[in-house]
Structure 1
Amino acid sequence: MTSITDALKAIATEERAQASAWFFKTGKGQYGEGDIFIGISNPDLRTICKKYNSLNFSELQDLLNSPIHEYRFAALIILVEQMKKAKSEDLRSKIYEFYLDNTHRINNWDLVDCSARDIVGLYLFDKDRSILYDMARTNHLWTQRIAIIATFYFINKKQFLDTLKISEILLTHKHDLIHKAVGWALREAWKKGANQQVEVFLEKNIGRIPRTALRYAIEKMTDEQKKYFMTLK
């Protein structure tokens, strides 16, 4: 682990650290309160991670336990690559379980978004998906976001039902980060071929869907469709 942390520290900058701390809302009372950034760009971090894709679970756990955001991000990027390359169901299962055991360390939207689809979604694709509904019904912001972001894997495979059902569970959520994720998921489902299903969903739930989620969901529709749904709202 020393090698990867040294490599990350070597390219960190204070200027970027300050910008990241502001962008990811680390101030008192904000969703990322107390998170620590050392200042590394996403492309640079991913480049370094490619050299350390063989880290074991113990080494990845050390990174996930760190208060430094970029170390946790690095662990998740490596874990995603290991999941994609896993040759056995046993290894995929271990990666998935390791990920779920660490949801309390996956505690910002970028950490969720870089990992949930290609770990949780990939693993559950040919399995029972009821755990996603349980996750969506928790009171934990990041676990709820994992639930909806995981369905992006299904969307890419032209399966839309779980996205719609989990979106409906999350419609009354109070946090803007969930509104954005739901709208994003609906938009992607619409783009991938679920035009009618998404439009029916919006009409059915127009009174409950947050305006932010609606704006994201209709982003790629025609101007006429956008006007129609915004008028309904």
Structure 2
Amino acid sequence: MGTTLATAAEVVAALHANADPAEEAKIRVRVADDEPVIGVRMGTLFDIAKAATDLPEAEFDELVTHAAYEPRMAAFCILDFRSRRALSDDRRVVLARSYLDHHDAITTWDMVDRAAPRVVGMPMLSGAVDVGILNELARSTDPLRRRSAITAPLWFVRKGSTADVERGLAVAASLDDDEHPYVRSAVRTYRKHAARRVSSSAG
């Protein structure tokens, strides 16, 4: 969309303007029964979030604490869009901290998958963010934090060294006995991509 969105209220209004009952039914299957859903196609939500990439921080905080799924998903998309810019290490630390500080707002696996690799994993490669945070997340009682622990290192597979990939595999090993499907599927995904990276390097 061509219009810049400057407030949380504008983002929420844009989401409601694009509500579709068919999309609401699709989203409902992956959110909690009591979680409000607007019903917005994901591609449209991405466009709305991109238009709000420069949302002031106070407005971002309002968006990321919204009760409904889509405003919070848009907030994590905004973090991802910001992380795609040329940023200083200090700015990347701010983005990672925003993700981690608002982790309680993450209620679905797709929020993790959208933002964790670039927002949290990328600054770990430069040392701007302590890689030990992955172990802290992996020990959490919250399965979505544990998913963050193994999803953030997908950036290691994409841009890191072999040693970085191995760090991710160590996190995967620590989650081997995890019984939650959100975590098991993310561990499989990391191992699959890591295996491709190793195979490509060997070739």
Instruction: Give the alignment's TM-score, normalised by structure 2.
Output: 0.87
Distance change in 2, residues 1:164/1:59 (3 Å) = same
CA distance in 1, matches of 2:141, 2:32: 20
Q: In the alignment, what sits opposite 2:102?
A: 102
Please state whether the residue corresponding to 1:114 is helix, strand or coil: helix
Runs of 4+ in 1 over 6 A off after TM superposition: none
Matched residues, percent identical?
Answer: 26
Return the offset for 1:77.
0.8
Q: Match of 2:192, as an amino acid?
A: R
Please state whether the residue corresponding to 1:26 is helix, strand or coil: coil
Q: In the alignment, what sits opposite 1:185?
A: 190
Residues 31, 107 of structure 2: 8 Å contact kept:
no
* Residue 32 of structure 2 corresponds to residue 26 of structure 1: yes
Q: Which of the residues 127, 143, 146 maps onto 2:148?
A: 146
CA distance in 2, matches of 1:112, 1:50: 17
Please state whether the residue corresponding to 2:46 is helix, strand or coil: helix
Q: In the alignment, what sits opposite 1:56?
A: 56
CA distance in 2, matches of 1:167, 1:46: 29
Return the offset for 1:104.
0.6
How big is each residue's C-alpha offset from its partner over 1:118-137, in whole Å with a ceiling of 9 and x where there is no partner?
A: 10001211223111011101
CA distance in 2, matches of 1:78, 1:2: 15
CA distance in 2, matches of 1:196, 1:48: 39
Q: In the alignment, what sits opposite 2:74?
A: 74
Q: In the alignment, what sits opposite 2:20?
A: 13
Q: In the alignment, what sits opposite 1:134?
A: 136
How big is each residue's C-alpha offset from its partner over 1:90-137, in whole Å with a ceiling of 9 and x where there is no partner?
A: 221211111111011112100000000010001211223111011101
CA distance in 2, matches of 1:176, 1:166: 16
* Structure 1: 5+ residue stretches without partners: 28-33, 198-233
Q: Matched residue pairs, number?
A: 190
Return the offset for 1:196.
10
How big is each residue's C-alpha offset from its partner over 1:157-184, in whole Å with a ceiling of 9 and x where there is no partner?
A: 2431122101111111111111110001
Instruction: Give the alignment's TM-score, normalised by structure 1.
Output: 0.77
* Residue 170 of structure 2 corresponds to residue 165 of structure 1: yes
CA distance in 1, matches of 2:21, 2:49: 21
Residues 93, 123 of structure 1: 8 Å contact kept:
yes
Structure with greater Cα Rg: 1
Distance change in 2, residues 1:25/1:45 (3 Å) = closer
Q: Match of 1:192, as an amino acid?
A: R
Distance change in 2, residues 1:55/1:181 (3 Å) = same
Instruction: Tell me the C-alpha RMSD between the 2 structures.
Output: 1.8
